[in-house]
Structure 1
């Protein structure tokens, strides 16, 4: 099996179709289809179910994908090792919680890009659970997630401390306990979000439960619905401060045990050679000591 064929297979699996994979790989569709067919014929299995233009991975395909990710990662590590002390270059796939990407990353990424212009930065956002799994599955090289992270196979570096605050509409009276917002709708990101878990735990500790949970894909949508009186949310104070949103909603301070949370930079401990990732981690370390 050629590594180039495995990269094509992996991209088709991620994109769900030949057309999208060809565009991402900057190849013609016929070449992608031919290489995929050759790989299937050499292995004697079908890697995808064809449904129109959609490609649904088979059980054999899923098994090969796990090996493919490991093989490609090893190939990338070998290239990094051969570069020696050269300037970091190539792709760096970064995962981040959406609020962290909005409030903390722009300045960091701008400074990192100026220092390491040969590194191509790719950013994926999502809840902490999703991002941790993405690191473990080689989908991203490094991720910014909320503590605690109970995964011994990951190296962890504390980078930020966030203060979480409770958000309500601007006319809501002061909130001193969960009972003050009992039976309100909880507005948050999809399951797997550590901030949402904190808000659910805050409700549970007060012996009350939200009326229902509404899930959103962006923090802007959450804040907009809070302002409209749809429910309550929990979010880093820094996001509210930077976006100047304090006038459209009401911000309620929480007790430190509920409010303070550490943001961690995590990556796989078993990947020892990755110049761009190591430079990114060192960059955060330098920020912390300034």
Structure 2
């Protein structure tokens, strides 16, 4: 069944005949009659008993009338939801764990207060995986490290991060020799900060003795504090965890490695009011 056929059927049912239904729909009577017959042929049952020019709904016609009303109402609701400029529906956002932990709480709290009807879902992950999820439609947008580097994506710079090496408390300086003898604590291969650290060490001609992958920054900082190894973290994350930060020492990186951009990526040309509103908050365009 097509929605247009249901609209014609509903008009005939409500107007008690083809003539007034055709006037209401701004159609010629022959078109209304033809479309009504086609609907009956599709369903395989008569919807009206015909007595001259009078149409009397059959039992099947009355039952279909209830469904037609609900289906047409739902279709109109869907049309308004899609066409509306007001944020609504669901929004699937991805973010690096460091960004989720240190940057997003006040933004998302403000967003929820302003747009309570939006169902926001947050998924943490590494940059490469988040970028892939946006491209494949599993996420509406994501906050990743660095530029997207893909013409299929729009991107907006939302945060500037200072990246530091983190070691156990009391560690005064980090020599190349020490870097080669230590254990590095990182996320998986898709982590942009891990790639940054590995590139820097390779440039220095240094290979770490051991590399251990961990699943959370809390675990990573705890291991660093206990003297297990070194990690590369954004300063904003440490600032958001002052008690944990007091148990470690921080060490600057060279200027070209010590600054990182966090960008919001989304499919190019995709209009989504809920995402547009979030982007405005992230960019500080709304208070």
CA RMSD of aligned residues (A): 1.9
SS in 2 for 1:130: helix
SS in 2 for 1:110: helix
Matches within 5 A, 1:65-144: 79=78, 83-144=82-143
Deviation readout 1:39-81 (Å, 9 max, x if unpaired): xxxxxxxxxxxxxxxxxxxxxxxxxxxxxxxxxxxxxxx9577
Matches within 5 A, 1:17-32: none
Q: Aligned residue for 2:73?
A: none
CA contact (8 A) 1:81 1:273 kept: no
CA distance, structure 2, for counterparts of residue 127 and residue 155 of structure 1? 19
Q: Aligned residue for 1:226?
A: 224
Matches within 5 A, 1:1-290: 79=78, 83-175=82-174, 177-244=175-242, 245-270=244-269, 272-287=270-285
SS in 1 for 2:262: strand
CA contact (8 A) 2:81 2:88 kept: no
SS in 2 for 1:279: helix
CA distance, structure 2, for counterparts of residue 191 and residue 80 of structure 1? 43
SS in 2 for 1:106: helix
CA distance, structure 2, for counterparts of residue 132 and residue 111 of structure 1? 25
How has the CA–CA distance of structure 1 residues 79 and 194 changed in structure 2, closer, same or farther, with 3 Å as cutoff? Answer: farther
Shift of 1:204: 1.0
SS in 2 for 1:207: coil
SS in 2 for 1:266: strand
CA distance, structure 2, for counterparts of residue 249 and residue 104 of structure 1? 21
Runs (5+) with no aligned partner, structure 1: 1-77
Deviation readout 1:142-194 (Å, 9 max, x if unpaired): 1000003211101000000000000111132312x544422211101111000
How has the CA–CA distance of structure 1 residues 286 and 256 changed in structure 2, closer, same or farther, with 3 Å as cutoff? Answer: same
How has the CA–CA distance of structure 1 residues 275 and 80 changed in structure 2, closer, same or farther, with 3 Å as cutoff? Answer: farther
Runs (5+) with no aligned partner, structure 2: 1-76
SS in 2 for 1:109: helix
CA contact (8 A) 1:146 1:261 kept: yes
Q: Aligned residue for 1:21?
A: none
How has the CA–CA distance of structure 1 residues 111 and 82 changed in structure 2, closer, same or farther, with 3 Å as cutoff? Answer: closer
SS in 2 for 1:257: coil
Shift of 1:83: 3.8
State the TM-score, normalized to the length of structure 2.
Answer: 0.69
CA distance, structure 1, for counterparts of residue 199 and residue 78 of structure 2? 45
CA contact (8 A) 1:158 1:264 kept: yes
Shift of 1:103: 0.1
Shift of 1:202: 1.5
Shift of 1:82: 5.5
State the TM-score, normalized to the length of structure 1.
Answer: 0.68
CA distance, structure 2, for counterparts of residue 224 and residue 127 of structure 1? 20
CA distance, structure 2, for counterparts of residue 80 and residue 253 of structure 1? 53
